[in-house]
Amino acid sequence: MSTPLDPRAEYRRRLQHRQTMVIGGILATMVVLTLVCLLLWTGIVPAPYEPGFSSAKDEATPVIQPCPPADAATVEVTSIPVNVYNGTDTTGLAGDVTQTLTESGLTVTATADWPRGSYDGNVLITTSQAGLTNAYTLARAFTGTVNVTIDETADASDPTVSVVLGAEYKQSILSTAEIGQLKAGEPISAPKGCVAVTAAPTEQASQAPAN
């Protein structure tokens, strides 16, 4: 005749067995995960997806600027006809710049949102081949990165300069007093890597395409 098991002893036995199974399962899972991570890290097993992380600096297409005319010198800034465009969703940028330029004696013929959409940089100045000297002169009225490009849709003899304010623009225009101190007749240095006007590219991929 067998001796009946103690209920408490039986409960403890089952509890220990259950705990052993749970702990064993957790340890086995951790071992498998660790092994998978090591295989992914060493490249033995390819990752199931590509995060695609990259820096904005790597993605940005550099703007190749046209060279100014040979021996070009700045002109009287007040003689430059200007259009001012807002290349962002922030309201009021073009109006503020227009006011500063107007108070500085320049003639602003148009103030509007940029017809080509948005611009990611600080300030973009576009013009025809005839307006390059004007463009590089007006570029001195802004701080930060100012890119000059040829607008091949413009009449080649049109000296008008278009200023496009981009997402990085942070009130980088000089004050009216500082603009008034810009002198004519100062040599214009060619930007590094510029190309001859006859080969000057249109706006680069960093700008939005025309609608």
Give backbone dihedrals phi and psi of 64, rounded to 5 degrees, phi first.
-90, 115
- Which fold would CATH assign to domain 66-196? Alpha-Beta Plaits (3.30.70)
Q: pLDDT tens digits, residue range 9-55?
A: 777 777 788 888 888 889 888 888 888 888 777 777 666 655 454 44
Q: How far apart are CA 145 and CA 148, in angstroms?
A: 10
Does pTM top 0.75 for this prediction? no
Q: For the chain, which residues make up each domain, given as ranges?
A: 13-46, 66-196
- pLDDT score, position 163: 97
Q: Please state the rounded mean pLDDT for residues 186-197.
A: 92
Give backbone dihedrals phi and psi of 191, rounded to 5 degrees, phi first.
-65, 150
Q: pLDDT tens digits, residue range 148-158?
A: 999 989 999 99
Q: How far apart are CA 122 and CA 164, in angstroms?
A: 8
